[in-house]
Structure 1
Amino acid sequence: MKKILFVIHDLHHGGAEKVLVNLVNNMDREKFDVTVMALFGGGVNEQFLKKDVKLIICHKRAVRGNSKIMKLFSPQFLFGYYIKDKYDIIVSYLEGPSARIVSGCNEKNTKLVSWIHVEQHDRNTACNAFRDYKEALECYRKFDCTVCVSEYVKKDFQSIFPVENPVYVLYNTNETDQIRELAKEPVDDVVFKDNEIKLIGVGKLMTNKGFDKLARIHARLIREGYKAHTYILGEGPERNKIEKIVDENGCADTFTLLGYRTNPYKYVAKCNIFVCSSVAEGFSTAATEALILGVPVVTTRVSGMEEMLGKNNEFGIVVDGTGEDKLYDGLKVMVSSLKIREKYRDKARERSKIFSKENTVSEVEKMFESMMKNEA
């Protein structure tokens, strides 16, 4: 049995955090002894870890400016400070501080994996948690391999960091059966009206999610006479900004911020269209979950969406770019036609099969086994 440690910043309500829990919960316990280390505790996803997954919390809560504080110390010092036990494989499951810490490992028999979830575009963004680009490149070159969640993220990473070790693409793990089962739960706190076309977005209320853009688009649809209602599942610092846009456009009755919910699936399943309005993504967990629930997807052209939905809009609508007008046009196509919505509902269910839990977990386990045989 191989000992594996996954290191992540925290287990709060984000896509990467959720899919890490999904992955470790489903790995073969006869082959892998799994530990998750969260640098900072208090995350809502901690409760969903299975009891046989060890959880290490380094600090009870996040400290403001923690990445700047960590940069005062070398990766080698940080590794020795945080990681006391020995492992066969150590995975940095997010960009940033966890990658810097794990790269400080000097154990010759320990394999290191860096897991990249988002497109970073440029050196400044990619090196934010490092002292400079030189240090970042040195750190990433110490990993035995890098895993990216989509082909787009892989190309983006390699354009910034020319590492020589293998870079793989492995899709995120979703609890497909559980998602469909939870979607059957009744919704007793929201009244979904049959005469409204229901749109839904899911994610932290942060700038990169573009929910302010979606609020303005919703107002345009209402002004044009469409009976639409948009729901947002998530919480974050952009709430006040979004609420102000909604109020200024007189859409408070048809644009609802639901906040964070532990079971988002029962809300998504009741809607007609899933919207991704992001300006940056890795491989959207929320969009994948919408496909699993058979909800048609309209999305901006961010990382992973063409892989997910096809280059010619075969399984959903990917608009040209991330701009407001293009997303509005794409949504208008879907909102305007019941026939198109029904077409993409069937296509969503068809596409979801490639993201089955069994397939994604199996691919990860094969990679780990290959590494231990020195084949990676």
Structure 2
Amino acid sequence: MKKVLFVIHDLHLGGAEKVLVNLVNHMDRSKFDVTVLALFGGGVNEPFLNPDIRLIVGHKRPFPGNSHVMKLFSPERLFRYYIKGRYDAIVSYLEGPSARIVSGCPRDGTKLVSWVHIEQHTMKNAARSFRSAEEARKCYCRFNRTICVSRTVAEDFDSIFHLQRPVEVLYNTVESDVIRENAQEPLGEIDGKKEEIKLIGVGKVVPNKGFDRLARIHKRLREEDGLPVHTYILGEGFQRKGLEAWAAENGLSDTFTFLGYQTNPYKYVAACDLFVCASHAEGFSTAATEALIVGTPVVTTEVSGMREMLGENEYGVITENSEEALYQGVKEMLTAPERLSHYKEKARERGRRFSTGQTVRAVEEMLTKLFLEKSSDVSEEKTTQ
């Protein structure tokens, strides 16, 4: 049995955090002894780890400026502080601090995997959690494997770091059967009026998710187009209070509703007429994947992974990544009932292709091949002490 450690910043709200829990819960225990290290504890996803998954917490809670404090220490020192014992493989399950820490592993035969979830576009962004661009390059060169969640994320990462080995793509693990089952739970909170058209957005309520532009789109649909839309936002984040205040100022509090964090988001998504992704950037959207699985049509901005998920508008509608284009895409969907019905069927069709077992097996096969390889020619460059 191989010992595998997954390292992540925390298990709080977020797609990557949820996907990691899905993945480790379904890995074959006869082959893999799995441990998760959360640098910071208290995450809402922690209780969903199976009892046989070992959870280690570096700090009980995040502290202000933690990423800056970490940069005061070398990757080697951070590794010794956070990671005890020996593992056959250590996986950094997010870019940034966890990658920097894992790269400090001594050359003891442990296989290292870096898992990248988002497009970073520039070296400045990619090196934000490192002391410098040079250190970021050295750290990422230390990994035996680089895994990305979509082709566009892989192309973006490769364009920045130019690693002398392939960057692989493995798609996120979702619990498709559990999602479909939970989507059937009774729901009373958003029944509303029968004539209402229900839209839903899911994710952390932070600027990157674009909920502010979804709010403005909601206003235009109601006031300019006379559409009886009711938009629900499923998630928490620091931007929520400001958006709630904006909705109140514009007389939209009754139709632009925050549902907060929900342990079963699927029943809410299934109850809505349209899922809208207004994000400025994504990796491979877990929320959009889940919408397809429950059969809710998707309209999204063009962000990483959406063309792999939806094709050329075959299984959902992809617009340019602008507020105006997204508004037009949502409006066209809502003013053509046959179009909405068509994409509901296409969502169900596409949703059937997301298999928990298939994505987990792909990860297990990647790790198994990695264990069979001799020591790879990763960079011998040392980071600054």
- Class of the TM-score when normalised by the shorter of the 2 chains: over 0.9
Structure 1 residues 114-193: aligned runs within 5 Å: 114-193=114-193
Measured after TM superposition, the shift of residue 193 of structure 1 is 2.6
The code of the aligned residue for 2:339 comes to I
Query: TM-score, with normalisation over the residues of structure 1?
Result: 0.98
Measured after TM superposition, the shift of residue 349 of structure 1 is 1.3
Measured after TM superposition, the shift of residue 188 of structure 1 is 3.1
**Equivalent residue, structure 1, for 2:305:** 304
1:144-171 per-position Cα deviation (integer Å, ceiling 9, x unaligned): 0100000010011111111123311000
Q: Is the 8 A contact 1:141 1:165 kept in 2?
A: no
Structure 1 residues 35-74: aligned runs within 5 Å: 35-74=35-74
Q: Is the 8 A contact 1:144 1:166 kept in 2?
A: no
Percent identity, aligned pairs only, is: 61
Q: Does 1:271 align with 2:272?
A: yes
C-alpha distance in 1 between matches for 2:243 and 2:161: 36
The code of the aligned residue for 2:189 comes to D
* SS in structure 2 of the partner of residue 114 of structure 1: strand
1:61-90 per-position Cα deviation (integer Å, ceiling 9, x unaligned): 001101110100000111111111100010
C-alpha distance in 2 between matches for 1:104 and 1:299: 39
C-alpha distance in 1 between matches for 2:59 and 2:241: 30
**Equivalent residue, structure 1, for 2:221:** 221
C-alpha distance in 1 between matches for 2:349 and 2:169: 22
Q: Which runs of 5 or more structure 2 residues have no equivalent in the other structure?
A: 377-385
C-alpha distance in 2 between matches for 1:108 and 1:169: 27
Query: TM-score, with normalisation over the residues of structure 2?
Result: 0.95
Which runs of 4 or more aligned residues in structure 1 lie more than 3 Å from their structure 2 counterparts after TM superposition? none
1:244-290 per-position Cα deviation (integer Å, ceiling 9, x unaligned): 33223321111111111111111111001000000010000000000
The code of the aligned residue for 1:293 comes to V
RMSD: 1.1
* SS in structure 2 of the partner of residue 365 of structure 1: helix
* SS in structure 1 of the partner of residue 112 of structure 2: strand
The code of the aligned residue for 1:231 comes to Y
Measured after TM superposition, the shift of residue 372 of structure 1 is 0.6
**Equivalent residue, structure 1, for 2:337:** 338
C-alpha distance in 2 between matches for 1:31 and 1:64: 39
The code of the aligned residue for 2:243 comes to I
* SS in structure 1 of the partner of residue 232 of structure 2: strand
C-alpha distance in 2 between matches for 1:163 and 1:54: 32
**Equivalent residue, structure 2, for 1:362:** 361
The code of the aligned residue for 1:331 comes to V
Q: Does 1:18 align with 2:32?
A: no
Measured after TM superposition, the shift of residue 192 of structure 1 is 3.3
Q: Is the 8 A contact 1:6 1:91 kept in 2?
A: yes
C-alpha distance in 2 between matches for 1:250 and 1:317: 29
**Equivalent residue, structure 2, for 1:27:** 27
C-alpha distance in 2 between matches for 1:217 and 1:74: 46
Q: Does 1:284 align with 2:282?
A: no
**Equivalent residue, structure 2, for 1:327:** 326
C-alpha distance in 2 between matches for 1:92 and 1:197: 41
1:130-151 per-position Cα deviation (integer Å, ceiling 9, x unaligned): 0010000000000001000000
Q: Which runs of 5 or more structure 1 residues have no equivalent in the other structure?
A: none
Q: Is the 8 A contact 1:284 1:304 kept in 2?
A: yes
Q: Is the 8 A contact 1:201 1:274 kept in 2?
A: yes
**Equivalent residue, structure 1, for 2:249:** 248
